[in-house]
Amino acid sequence: MGVPLPPPGAPSLYNYLLFHTIAELVAVAIAIAVFTVAWNARTMRENGYLLVAGTGLLFVGAIALVHTLAYDGMGIFAGYGANLPTQLWIASRYLLAGTLLAAPLLLRRNPGPRRVFAAFTGITVLLLLSIFVVPIFPDCYVEGVGLTPFKVWSEYVIAALLALGAVAVYRLRGVFSPRVTGHLVAAVLVMIASELAFTLYISVYGLSNMVGHLLMVLSFGLIYVAFVETGIRQPYAVLFTGLAASEERLRREKDRLGQYLDIAGVLFVVLDTDGRVALINRRASEVLGYPADAAVGEPWTERFVPPAERERYRALFTGLMRGDAGATEYASAPVLTADGGERIVAWHTTVLRDRNGAVCGTLSSGEDITEQQHAEEALRQANAKLNLLAGITRHDILNQITVARAYIEFAGEDNANPAIRDYLERARTAVEEIQKQIEFSRDYQDMGVAEPAWQRPEDLVRESVADLALPAGVRVRVDLAGLEIYADPMVKKVFYNLIDNAVRHGGAVTEVRFSCMRSGQDLLIFCEDDGTGIPDGEKEAIFGETYRRRHGHGLFLVSGILGITGIAIREAGVSGEGARFEIMVPNGAYRFGDGSR
């Protein structure tokens, strides 16, 4: 405070100049120490409070140092009197109160260190200019009168601002450690008491004046404990606000993730860069027959991959670690179990990367398909046996049909009776119909026997054209470059029959065109001709089984082959202008050579 010196010869205990200088220098030293901690921790972006408060205290200390040097009796700022140090005191208190109020409000915003430092520099320069250069700062002490009303009311305003700062800190107590919160709130409350004490003294030797400075030193001491001592002994309490809460949230999320993985019906296995198990869920543990804690840390290839598959798996894993591939499609692979048996698992493996993009392991999700594989194999064998039996039976029937047709022909040649010849002709027609149906069963029995596969319609159309040996004057145009569809291996018969039907039943057809276009998420493949088209009343009937009695079974077979993989077909042409077959391929069942779908 800027006040007259005690009379010469007063005891050293009451040498207010010495007492004032020591008290202020202690506060300045603490402010510098707090700033040192805050500035060296500026890269720790978790706590904006520490940065703002520490930087602000540095500039509070700078003004306080000028206040100490300007104190009446120090002889440094001659001709200013007691008003100058008192103005500097109020300026430093306003800056201190503003700092402790702003710091909690900026805690979560993480302001940049340079911006904070520049802001406090600007505020401090403006305060000093208003006192020394452009004297617009209100007077705080008048010789012979004492403290001005502005000075007294400023102490109350500063106390109110400090109180708001204490409330702000208390409301954010969840992000501080209890030790830091307690010391910060206590420091602000002691500062408030100090400000109130400075409004009560009437003598520089009075008790309230000395109490005010002692409380000021105590408040800075509490700040020292909160930021400096705690920041050195327990740095996490200052630098990592909310650490305990964050750890608790992380623990809960980890437990929840573990529950999700354990209740999942699929296997989850995480391998580190050395190929060792880093994580395994309950389902994978059950399939392998090992407890999860026993499997973690084990080398996956040596422990859980059958010997015959190990070299292939090592090559695959090495390629993933090099970043040669990001993920693998579902692929079946056997795994060794604890009892020495094997289970077949359909795996999908994804590469894991750290925040820098470096490969740090793999995540594999899988499904135990052992029983499914056995069932499929049994079904394949049963189908093979049924096809063999059907083939033998069909062969024998066709042989008997050939014999029957021969006898019918012989009987017709030796019999001149018209009625008998008519009966024989009807018998021959019936036998031919039987032969057609038997031949149709030969095509139909192969549908769905083999697994669907990706096939190129462009190639299938060209092969069909080569097999059909089309009449002169009929050409086929194909605009399906790069297209692949997921369909039954018999899908070639689809394009074969569409071209054959156009030529046989389309009238004077000269051109058959194949093209495609997207329809929303699906794809439409068009087969168009320039023939007579399909009558409106028969557009649906042509795909029926009974329609074959007039025109063969081609389109009925086409519809069945496409339906195996969810592909639909319809006729949408205009009668008299040519047929237009639209094949709708669902999303996921088509792709192009460039990888688009």
Predicted pLDDT of residue 234: 57
Split at pLDDT 50, 70, 90, the class of 513 is very high
Contact at 8 Å (CB) between 506 and 529?
Answer: yes
pLDDT for the residue numbered 548: 46
Q: Tell me the average pLDDT across 447-451.
A: 64
DSSP class per residue in 44-102? -TT-HHHHHHHHHHHHHHHHHHHHHHTSTTS-SSTT-TTHHHHHHHHHHHHHHHHHHHH
Count of C-beta atoms within a 10 Å radius of residue 362:
23
pLDDT tens digit sequence for 189-247:
888 888 787 776 554 445 666 777 788 888 888 888 877 766 665 555 554 455 555 56
When pLDDT is averaged across residues 436-450 and rounded to a whole number, the result is: 61
Residue 581 has a pLDDT of 94
533: how many CB neighbours lie within 10 A of its CB? 20
Mean pLDDT across 391-413: 72
User: Is 446's pLDDT higher than 70?
Assistant: no
The identity of residue 480, as a single letter, is L
Q: What pLDDT is recorded for position 46?
A: 54
User: Is the pLDDT assigned to residue 12 strictly greater than 50?
Assistant: no
In this predicted structure, what is the pLDDT of residue 9? 41
Residue 204 has phi, psi (to 5 degrees) of -65, -20
The DSSP line for 325-388 is -SEEEEEEEEEE-TTS-EEEEEEEEEEEE-TTS-EEEEEEEEEE-HHHHHHHHHHHHHHHHHHH
Distance CA 473, CA 74 (A): 118
CATH code 1.20.1440 for 12-244: no
Taking domain 264-368, whether its CATH number is 3.30.450.20 is answered by yes
Residue 401: what residue type?
I
More confident: 445 or 276: 276
CA distance 589 to 530: 29
pLDDT at 443 over 80: no
Give residue 383's pLDDT: 64
* Locus of tokens 């692949």: 484
Q: How far apart (Å, rounded) are the C-alpha atoms in residues 317 and 310? A: 10
- Which is the CATH superfamily of the domain at 453-592? Histidine kinase-like ATPase, C-terminal domain (3.30.565.10)
Judged against a pLDDT cut of 60, whether residue 308 lies above it is answered with yes
Calculate mean pLDDT across residues 410-431: 75
395 or 161, higher pLDDT: 161
Query: What integer best gives the mean pLDDT of the chain?
Result: 78
Q: Give yes or no for residue 474 having a pLDDT over 80.
A: yes
pLDDT at residue 14, rounded to an integer: 42
pLDDT, average across residues 506-533? 91
Q: What is the mean pLDDT of residues 236-264?
A: 59
**The pTM is what?**
0.43
Element (H, E) at 201: none
Task: Over range 77-103, report the average pLDDT.
Answer: 85
In the prediction, which pLDDT does 452 show? 84
Q: What is the pLDDT of residues 322-363, one digit of tens each?
A: 876 544 555 778 888 888 888 888 888 888 888 787 888 888
Cβ partners under 8 Å of residue 428, min gap 6: 405, 408, 409, 412
**Predicted confidence (pLDDT) at residue 47 exceeds the cutoff of 70:** no
Least confident of 262-266, 291-295, 539-543: 262-266
Question: What is the model's pLDDT at position 545?
Answer: 67
Cβ–Cβ under 8 Å, residues 366 and 346: yes
The larger pLDDT score, comparing residue 113 to residue 405, is at: 113
Cβ neighbours of 60 (radius 10 Å): 28
Is residue 552 very low, low, confident or very high in pLDDT (cuts 50, 70, 90)? very low
Specify the pLDDT at position 442.
Answer: 60
Q: Strand 277-280: give its sheet, edge to edge.
A: 277-280, 267-271, 359-368, 342-353, 327-336
Query: 209, exposed or middle or buried, with CB in 10 Å at 0-12, 13-18, 19+?
Result: buried
